[in-house]
Structure formats: C-alpha cells, structure tokens
Amino acid sequence: MRQRSRTNCCQGLTHREIGERLYISAKTVEHHVARIRRRLDAGSRSELLAALRAAGYR
C-alpha cells in the first residue's frame, strides 16, 4: 500500500485523489505519507517529492 501511495504522491495527487484510486480514506493516505516523510526526513511534501524522485519513483 505504501508503495502505491509513494507512486501516486510523486504524481502530485492530493490525499483524497490517492485514496480514491486505492479505495482507502484520505486520512489513511495522510498517515502513510506522514510515515514516508519521517523515514526520508522530509520536512515538507515538496521535500518528500524531491526525495522520492531522487530515489527513482515517478
């Protein structure tokens, strides 16, 4: 699930849009994204996007 959240996040989708694609709530997506941000030490969503793209996610 987090893999798909990462991929959708890289596409610049909102939590709601990601949730609709994955059939989960926007709040669940928010929690997944927050965990990913903590693991990558990203202070903002833009930093997260940059880190994910540097890691090869598109």
Q: What is the DSSP string of 9-53?
A: HHTT--HHHHHHHHTS-HHHHHHHHHHHHHHHT-SSHHHHHHHHH
Predicted pLDDT of residue 5? 58
Predicted pLDDT of residue 27? 96
Predicted pLDDT of residue 57? 76
pLDDT beneath 70: ranges in the chain: 1-10
Look up the pTM and report it.
0.73
Predicted pLDDT of residue 52? 81
